[in-house]
A and B are shown apart, each in its own frame.
Chain A
Amino acid sequence: MSLILKHKREKLEKQSQFIFIDNQGFVTDSCDSIFKTDGLLHQHIAEWFPFLESIYDHVAAKKVEEPEFRFSRLNAPFSLLPGIYDFVFSKVLIEGKEVLLWEIHDYTTLYEEFIRQQQACNEIIIKSERINAIQKVLQTQRINLSKRNADLEQLQKIRTKYYKKIEGGILQIERRATPHLLAKKIKDRETIDYITAIEHSLLQAKDFVEELIILTNAQDNYEFTEQSFEIYDLLNTISFRFDEEHANSNIELSISVHKDIPEKMIGNFTYLKHLIGGLILNYAKIIQAGIIEIQLAPTTIQQANLIKIKFYLQSYSINGKLPIYLGKVKRFNNHDNHDFGDIKSEIELRLSIIRHFVEQHQGKFSVESDEDNGVGISFTFPYVLSEEKL
């Protein structure tokens, strides 16, 4: 045999395996180039693995003259076949006897690059579709919000500005990703990473808009019928809602109440529940992990029946009780405006939401963050003490 033929045979031999099966479904011969069959010879091939079980009856019923059956790209069909294979079944005549021939062709290496390309294309398509869907939701919400009263104009402004950034981001995606998609070829991870970042920002935007809607709904439903309620009821409700939303997260809530805080006060319970609950949930999104400690303390009492309560939120890392420091929060303090439309800065955006709502409700808002003490935000609201207590 010529050297080239010898070389070719050696190389190709490793890529496929031929197996003969008798009409009882047992292996009579195998070249074992890909996997060893000896341990399996006593078993009917339909019992080898589920793929064979599901097609055995059909391939066994084939006739010699019928065309072969090919099953392409079988993905790890069996523990001894961990890659990607084509199976081909045909009936052949061997020494005058009909035998089922099962060919196994190993295409694992052939498909490696193909899988990478397909994965990249699919990811981009899925992400672009999601982004479009979120964009639609945002558009309808914009209409809803613009129907609301003039009080919300300020909010609407923040939102519109944010929305513009998003639209810009979507244009960028289209410009960057479309040529890749048309060519069905993504050269590097860069485009995918970029789109992932935009998708992330959009999801934040969606969250943000949803929060605005919850808060503005709470505001819409705010009736001026104030009644007496217990501060512990309020805290319990807030902590219950927090636990519901953070059951599987890395954030814990701890609450402490100063002894001078009265048990009862006057206010709109439902509204406060939404507002304060919303502010705390927002804060939780900023720190992402750790313990949030809410401290309720009275500030100066100006009138006999009026108390200002300070909600102080401090966050710690879960294990070491080290305060969490967020450099970005420091930057927030240096700016002194509400203009936080920047798509990159979620923290600032969330803080501006909190501040906006606190100030809208005659509250005072402040935030501190430094490397020694971590981040703390506080908001102070004035409350009327309940008559019952006085």
Chain B
Amino acid sequence: MNENIIEFRNVSIDYPLRKYTIRAVTDVTLGIKRGKITALVGESGSGKTTLSSSIIQCISEPGKIASGDIVFFDNVDGEDKKIVVSKFKEKEMKPFRWKRVSMVFQAAQSALNPVMTVEQQFVETLLAHGEDKDKQKQRARCKELLEYVKLDAERVLSSYPHELSGGMKQRVMIAFSLLLNPDLIILDEPTTALDVITQSYIFNLLKQINREKNISMILMTHDISVVAKFADYVGVMYGGRLVEYGKVNDIFRKRRHPYTEGLINATPSIIGDIDKLKPIEGSPPDLMNLPKGCIFSPRCPYAQEVCVGEEPSEICLEDGSKGRCYFFKERDNGRK
């Protein structure tokens, strides 16, 4: 069986605007491992949402895949089947979305329809996907899922979104994403607006779903602490590039890409030495006015002459990690 469930192959994504075009994602090649949790970490505007939502063709208007392919590996009776989902017409995408890949959008708060009860919304989705029309069975399925995310199912089913707290709404959205038994769930900053205690519950819940139901996950976040706690693999995004990818443990130990190192060093924690922290100088890249060469070079403390010439291409190492930095191979800040 292919160990990847999704592969991005040299994917670039554009937003053609009236006067100019924004390239939000540039040449990303990335495999999402089956059954694992892959985090995409990066600051706002780094292209996380654009990249992930392209899997189910939900890039916000007027975004378009400019080049590259997205491949989904289906597994039918032990046989690998390769499906190029980026070539799907809407007619083909419709049964794929929610059934094979579901997404919990950022601001899940507003993703729910304010004038429908939770039950009505669940049932509508079940019907739209031609699921069982038996009312009893539908209700039982909804109840089962809401109880699974530790909600008071009876009460929540008859509630309108405004009657639920932020943490409850987020759990409703997670239950919703499980409705059609998908193989992969995409989670866009699922806890950004929530408090740490609620966040902790939600992550424990997601980890449980990942383990018990063997559902693969893509988790987008700007918080590297969340990556450390939750993910198996991580892709670091900067200015629309995937600048580093590897196992979470390796990334934290080796910090090969200078941006990854900078992010880790700039993240305060409740333990450890405060004096060792330092900010990344400069400001995030402006996609309309990217620097020459490596786009991190103006902020990079290790930049050499070569870095401001051509943009570095991906360097892949034997252990499966890779990164866009001229010195990716040599740099290994292994912790003592």
**A and B: partners?**
no
